[in-house]
Structure 1
Amino acid sequence: MKQELKVTFLYCLVGILWILVSDEIISTFISESDMESMIYFQNVKGIFYIVATGLMLYVLLKKHNDAMNLKINELKKYANELETTNHELAQYINLASHDLQEPSRTVISFLTFLEKKYDNQIDEKGKNYIHFAVEAANKMRQIILDLLEYSKICKNDNLEKVNLNSIIKEIKNQFQDKIKETNTTIIVEDLPTINTDATLIQIIFKNLIDNAIKFKQENKPLSIHIEAIDKKDEWLFKISDNGIGIENEYFTKIFVLFQKLNQKDTTGTGSGLAITKKIVTNLGGTIWVKSVVNKGSDFYIKLPKNEKK
C-alpha cells in the first residue's frame, strides 16, 4: 500500500473511532430521549468531516510524494550522467597521459643518445643546453604523472586498521638517504592505530615530510615533529617543521594543483600538497597550515575516527 493511502486510512480510522467513543461519553450526560437524534446527527456530520478531510489529506500527500519522487528520479539521472562523465574523463586522462608521455620519452632518449654519440664534438655550452632540455622533458613527464595520480584519487570505503607508527617508519626508510644528506631529524610521538586507507594515509605523510625536507632552511638542521591529538570523534594530526615558512597570503594557494611558491625549486611540480588535500578531503577530513616565515610551518590534518559501532 502506498504511503499516502496508509496515512489517509489511519487518519479516517482514528477519526471514526473517536466519534464512536465520544458518543458513549456524551450519553452519560444527556437524557435518553434526546440522545438518539443527537448521536445520529453527530455521526453523520463527523464521518462526513473525517472522510472529506481524509480525501484532502490524500491529495496533498500524493502531490507531495509525486514531487519528491520526481526530484529523486532527476537526481538519480544526474548522478548516473555524472558517473558516466567521470568514467569517460578518467579514460581520456589515461589515454592522454600515455600519448603525452611518449614524446617526452622520445626527446629524452634522443638527446641522451646525441650527447653520448657526439660527446667529443659538443662543447660545455651545448652540453648544458642538452641538460636543460632533458630536465624540462623529465619535468613535463612528471607533471603528466602527477596529473594522472591526482585524477585517480577517489573515496575508498574499504577501510582497515592502520598503525601510523609503522607508516612513518616505512617513510623514514624510503627517505633515509635524503634524511641523512639534509641532516634531518624526525621526531614522532606515539601515534594511534586508525581506521583508514593505508595507501592514501601514507601518501599524505610522505608528501608532507618530503615537502618539509625540500623547503628546509640552508645551513640549519631540519627538525620535523609529528603528533596526534584525540578529539573524541576525530583525530587531529600536527606535522611541524623549522623550515623556511610560508607567507600568510599563500596559506590557501599552496593546496592548488601545480602552484609553486618557490620558483627556484626545479625538482617539484607543485602538485604534492594539492594531492594531499584531495586525499584528506576524500577521507572525510580537512587540512590547513599555520606558518611564520623563517621559523617554520605547522600542518594540521583533521580526520574522522571511522570507528565501527
Structure 2
Amino acid sequence: MANDHPVVVENFETETRFSGSELLTSHDIRSGISTLIGTTDDPWGLIAAYDTNPQTFTEEDVTFVQSVATILADAIERNQYQNDLEQLVADLEESNERLEQFAYAASHDLQEPLRMVSSYLQLIERRYGDELDEDGEEFLEFAVDGADRMRSMIDGLLQYSRVETQGSEFEPVDLENVLDDVREDLRMKIEESDAKITAESLPRVTGDEEQLRQVFQNLLSNAIKYSGEGPPKVHISAGRNGTDWTVSVSDNGIGIDPKDQDRIFEVFEGLHAADDYTGTGIGLAVCERIIERHGGEIWVESEPGEGSTFSVTLPAVTDRFEEYAVE
C-alpha cells in the first residue's frame, strides 16, 4: 500500500523484501504482480495477479496489471462521484422543497394580519377622514399605499412558491392562442397607452399553457409599462434552434443597463423607485422560475434608451405529442 508503483515478485520463497509471504506460499503462490488501485494518498485497494510457479514477468505483464488497476480506479471514482452528485441533487431538491413550503406558509400566514391592517386603515379613512389635516391625509395615504404594495408582494410570493407545486402537466401549447389571450387580458392597457403590438407566426411548444400565459403577459405588460415617453412598440418573434424554440419580445422602451440585467430576475429586485413605476419586483423572477421548469432559459439584451429584447427558450412539440394531437 505504501508503494506508488507496481510490485513484482518472481519467487516468494526467495523473496527478502517482504514479510508475511507464508499466507501466499501456503496456497501454492510462487510469484505475482500487485499494484495500488487509486493513489497512495487516497487508495481504494490493491489488485494482484499471481502464478503458482516462479515467473519472470515482462514489462507488458506489469503494464497490463497497472492498466486494469487504472480502469478500476476510474470506475470506482466515477461511481463515487455519481453517488455524491445524486446525493447533492437530492439534498438540493429537499432544501428547495422546504424553502417553497416556508415561502408559501409565510406568505399565506401574512395575509390575515395584513387584511386586518387594511381594514382598520379603511375604517380610519371613513370615520375620521374629514378630521385629518393635510399631513394626516398624506400619512394615511402612505399607509394605505404601503399595505396595498405589501398585499401585491405577498400575492407574488405565493405565486412564486407555487410554480413547481401548482403547475399543470405539459401538453402541446399553441403560442398564437396564448398571445391572443394575453392581448385580450391587456386590452385596456394597450388602448390607454396606444401601444402597437406586432407578431410573427408563433410555434406550438410543449408546456403548461397557464404558466406560459403568465410569462407572456408579464413580458408584454413590462414592455408597455417601461416604454418611456412615446407610444409603446412591441414585436414578438420566434426561431427554431434544434429541439427548442426561441421566442423574443422586443420593445422600444427605456432599456436596461447591462450591469443590472442579471439582477432583474431576482425576487423583489425592481430597478426603479415605486413612485416612478408600480410593481413588486417579482414578475420576472416568476417568469424565470416558469421557464426553468420548462427546461429553458430566459435572458435580456438591452441598452439604456435603446429598448429591450427578452428571449425565452421552450421545447418544441415532440412526435409523441403530435401523434396524440392528431388522434
TM range (shorter): 0.7 to 0.9
What corresponds to 1:172 in structure 2? Answer: 183
What corresponds to 1:125 in structure 2? Answer: 135
Aligned partner (choices 237, 243, 248) of residue 247 of structure 2: 237
Task: Give me the whole-angstrom Cα distance separating, in 1, the residues matched to 2:228 and 2:97.
Answer: 43
- Determine if contact 1:225/1:240 at 8 Å carries over to the other structure: yes
What corresponds to 1:41 in structure 2? Answer: none
What corresponds to 1:92 in structure 2? Answer: 102
Task: Give me the whole-angstrom Cα distance separating, in 2, the residues matched to 1:224 and 1:158.
Answer: 30
Counterpart of 2:297 in structure 1: which amino acid? T
Residues 70 and 240 of structure 1, relative CA distance in 2, 3 Å threshold: closer
Q: For 1:265, what is the secondary structure of its paired residue?
A: coil
Task: Give me the whole-angstrom Cα distance separating, in 1, the residues matched to 2:81 and 2:247.
Answer: 40
What corresponds to 2:163 in structure 1? Answer: 153
Q: Determine whether 1:294 maps to 2:308.
A: no
Displacement of 1:245 after TM fit? Answer: 1.4
Sequence identity, in percent?
36
Residues 65 and 297 of structure 1, relative CA distance in 2, 3 Å threshold: closer
Displacement of 1:72 after TM fit? Answer: 5.4
Counterpart of 1:281 in structure 2: which amino acid? E
Aligned partner (choices 211, 219, 224) of residue 213 of structure 1: 224
- Determine if contact 1:115/1:122 at 8 Å carries over to the other structure: no
- Determine if contact 2:204/2:317 at 8 Å carries over to the other structure: no
What corresponds to 2:199 in structure 1? Answer: 188
Q: TM-score, normalised by structure 2?
A: 0.69
Displacement of 1:58 after TM fit? Answer: 9.8
Displacement of 1:83 after TM fit? Answer: 4.1
CA deviations on 1:16-43 (whole Å, 9 max, x unpaired) are xxxxxxxxxxxxxxxxxxxxxxxxxxxx
Q: For 2:129, what is the secondary structure of its paired residue?
A: coil
Q: For 2:239, what is the secondary structure of its paired residue?
A: strand
Task: Give me the whole-angstrom Cα distance separating, in 2, the residues matched to 1:301 and 1:108.
Answer: 38
User: How many corresponding residue pairs?
Assistant: 263
Q: For 1:136, what is the secondary structure of its paired residue?
A: helix
CA deviations on 1:59-87 (whole Å, 9 max, x unpaired) are 99888777666665555555554444433
- Determine if contact 1:162/1:195 at 8 Å carries over to the other structure: yes
Task: Give me the whole-angstrom Cα distance separating, in 2, the residues matched to 1:124 and 1:66.
Answer: 76
Aligned partner (choices 293, 314, 325) of residue 282 of structure 1: 293
Displacement of 1:117 after TM fit? Answer: 1.0
Task: Name the one with the larger helix percent.
Answer: 1
Residues 93 and 63 of structure 1, relative CA distance in 2, 3 Å threshold: same
- Determine if contact 1:256/1:271 at 8 Å carries over to the other structure: yes
Greater shift, 59-68 or 263-272, is seen at: 59-68
Q: For 2:298, what is the secondary structure of its paired residue?
A: strand
For 1:247-262, list aligned pairs within 5 A: 247-262=257-272
Residues 266 and 236 of structure 1, relative CA distance in 2, 3 Å threshold: closer
Q: For 1:243, what is the secondary structure of its paired residue?
A: coil
Counterpart of 2:262 in structure 1: which amino acid? T
- Determine if contact 1:242/1:296 at 8 Å carries over to the other structure: yes
CA deviations on 1:178-229 (whole Å, 9 max, x unpaired) are 11111112112121112222122111111110111111112x1111111111
What corresponds to 1:105 in structure 2? Answer: 115
Task: Give me the whole-angstrom Cα distance separating, in 1, the residues matched to 2:269 and 2:128.
Answer: 38
Counterpart of 2:191 in structure 1: which amino acid? K
Q: Determine whether 1:228 maps to 2:228.
A: no
- Determine if contact 1:287/1:301 at 8 Å carries over to the other structure: yes
Aligned partner (choices 173, 178, 188) of residue 162 of structure 1: 173
Unaligned runs of 5+ in 2: 1-52, 54-64, 321-327
Q: For 1:95, what is the secondary structure of its paired residue?
A: helix
Q: Determine whether 1:136 maps to 2:146.
A: yes
Residues 192 and 114 of structure 1, relative CA distance in 2, 3 Å threshold: same
Q: For 1:90, what is the secondary structure of its paired residue?
A: helix
Task: Give me the whole-angstrom Cα distance separating, in 2, the residues matched to 1:183 and 1:281.
Answer: 33
Residues 158 and 99 of structure 1, relative CA distance in 2, 3 Å threshold: closer
For 1:24-63, list aligned pairs within 5 A: none
Q: TM-score, normalised by structure 1?
A: 0.73
Displacement of 1:153 after TM fit? Answer: 2.1
- Determine if contact 1:104/1:138 at 8 Å carries over to the other structure: no
Residues 77 and 253 of structure 1, relative CA distance in 2, 3 Å threshold: closer
Unaligned runs of 5+ in 1: 1-43, 45-54
